[in-house]
């Protein structure tokens, strides 16, 4: 699939769920609000595995590596949306740096979902960027909340930076962002332990409220899905 077709899919997806085509996303709160049948499970995985996804009847489930940075976790979730909405696969495991053509398409979709072609162009024009440097790159990734590596790949593939610049800009990013006045949240995990967000908790609570399950079964389901804070009234993740 060519890049313009994938970009169009990403824009149409944004519009279909009620988002503007070019605005940055506070990704996890927005996507769990807009996709009401989606459950996202953060799990500790091997470093080489970014995530996975599956469909169970009308429910869509994605698994995100809890050890990765927020930028990477967001990119992985956007990647899994491609598998869930544009493929028929029942269960998919996604490895970092896969050469599979479908995985490449999913990566392109994720990049365009988070930052469509026109959005990047508008940002570049609006900020009078004639030549990308580390300052403008960090500003851009913070604005779109996209991972540093994903933005570098996007700029390199578009001919905006050279391979040598790509290699130069990819190091010590957390420290470089802090030195430029940003906090470190984009470069640390959004959720760094086994935890579940999205529709699963809603389904369990609805079943309990309708007397379809007992409170004991409710607590069992919540604990099994890493939501023990709801059972023991813990306030902090």
144 and 207 in a single domain? The answer is: no
Three-state secondary structure of the chain: CCHHHHHHHHHHHHHHCCCCCCCCCCHHHHHHHHCCCEEEEEECCCCCEEEEEEEECCEEEEEEECCCCHHHHHHHHHHHHHHHHHCCCCEEEEECCCCCHHHHHHHHHHHHHHCCHHHHHHHHHHCCCCCCCHHHHHHHHHHHCCCHHHHHHHHHHCCCCCHHHHHHHCCCHHHHHHHCCCCCHHHCCCCCCCEEEEHHHHHHHHHHHCCCCCHHHHHHHHHHCCCHHHHCCCCCC
For the full predicted model, state whether its pTM sits above 0.85: yes
In total, how many domains does the chain have? Answer: 2
207 and 111 in a single domain? The answer is: no
Q: Write out pLDDT tens, residues 19-52.
A: 998 889 999 999 999 999 999 999 999 999 999 9
Residue 144 lies in a domain: yes
81 and 9 in a single domain? The answer is: yes
Name the residue range of residue 221's domain.
197-231
Q: What pLDDT score does 237 carry?
A: 45
145 and 52 in a single domain? The answer is: yes
Mean pLDDT of 47-69: 95
Which of these ranges, 16-30, 191-205, 223-237, has the smallest mean pLDDT? 223-237
Q: Write out pLDDT tens, residues 77-100.
A: 999 999 999 998 679 999 887 778
């Amino acid at each position: 699939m060519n890049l313009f077709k994938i970009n169009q899919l990403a824009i149409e997806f944004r519009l279909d769920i009620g988002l503007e085509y070019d605005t940055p996303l506070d990704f996890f709160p927005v996507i769990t609000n807009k996709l009401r049948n989606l459950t996202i499970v953060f799990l500790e995985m091997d470093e080489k595995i970014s995530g996975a996804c599956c469909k169970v009847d009308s429910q869509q489930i994605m698994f995100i590596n809890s050890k990765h940075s927020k930028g990477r976790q967001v990119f992985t979730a956007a990647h899994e949306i491609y598998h869930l909405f544009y493929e028929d696969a029942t269960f998919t495991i996604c490895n970092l740096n896969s050469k599979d053509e479908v995985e490449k398409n999913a990566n392109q979709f994720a990049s365009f979902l988070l930052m469509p072609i026109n959005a990047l162009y508008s940002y570049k024009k609006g900020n009078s960027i004639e030549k990308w440097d580390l300052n403008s790159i960090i500003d851009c990734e913070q604005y779109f909340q996209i991972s540093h590596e994903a933005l570098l790949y996007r700029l390199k593939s578009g001919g905006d930076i050279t391979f040598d610049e790509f290699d130069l800009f990819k190091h010590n990013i957390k420290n470089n962002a802090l030195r430029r006045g940003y906090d470190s949240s984009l470069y640390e995990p959004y959720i760094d332990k086994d935890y579940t967000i999205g529709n699963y908790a809603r389904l369990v609570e609805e079943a309990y409220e309708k007397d379809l399950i007992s409170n004991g079964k409710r607590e069992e389901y919540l604990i099994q899905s890493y939501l023990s804070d709801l059972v023991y009234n813990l306030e902090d993740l």
